[in-house]
Amino acid sequence: MNATQIFGLQVILSLVTYALIARWYIVPRLAGLELTAALTPLLLFHTLRTIGLVFLVPGVTDTLPAAFAIPGAYGDLITVGLAFLALVAIRLRWRRALILVWLFSLVGLLDFVNAFAQGIWNDIAAQYALGPGWFIPTFTVPAFVVTHMIVIWLLVTRGATYHAVGSSVHLTPQKELA
């Protein structure tokens, strides 16, 4: 197998492993929590996404193409900022907090889509020495993708149950009305 095949296999197997962990262990535990309590650890996890900034550090990886390194690093940093903002918003029960959670997740996922597209376009796995940066897309990114999917699942299935401070309106999911 060549470097690109190994890279792809590691990404896919990590993604499958994290999805199984989420399905069998994380989702069942979050299902019993109130929405704010369920979103909190997921958002906290994404505050660690600053790891992508290493693509800008000389000596950690080979000199990566700017089209890959700059958007990837700063996309991660923007996502971290949005994760912190969404975390504060839901913990303080701001009325529009879920909009920030959606924004965080959509920006974060789009950042990954762009990074993978640029990585494939530039054949990053085969053409550049990623050094310890190899573990970011093959080990950490799949974990972040799976947690983004859990966040979206929670927003879709339980977003209507969110209670903002001072809100006198209680939204009930459609399935409970029947």
Higher pLDDT, 176 or 63: 63
pLDDT tens-digit map of 28-67:
999 999 999 999 999 999 999 999 999 888 887 768 888 8
In a domain, 13, yes or no: yes
The count of structural domains within the chain is 1
pLDDT tens-digit map of 113-148:
999 999 899 888 888 888 888 999 999 999 999 999
Q: Which has the closest alpha carbon to 110: 156, 152, 139?
A: 152
Looking at residues 86-104, what average pLDDT do you find?
97
Looking at residues 98-126, what average pLDDT do you find?
94
Residue 95 makes CB contacts below 8 A (sequence gap 6+) with 164, 165, 166, 167
In a domain, 148, yes or no: yes
In a domain, 166, yes or no: no
Full domain range(s) for residue 88 = 3-161+171-177
pLDDT of residue 166: 62
In a domain, 84, yes or no: yes
Burial 110-120 (b: 16+ CB within 10 A, else e): ebbeebbebbe
Instruction: Yes or no: say if 72 and 66 are a contact pair by the CB < 8 Å rule.
Output: no
Residue 163 makes CB contacts below 8 A (sequence gap 6+) with 93, 170
Task: State the pTM of this model.
Answer: 0.88
Count of other CB atoms within 10 angstroms of residue 92 = 11
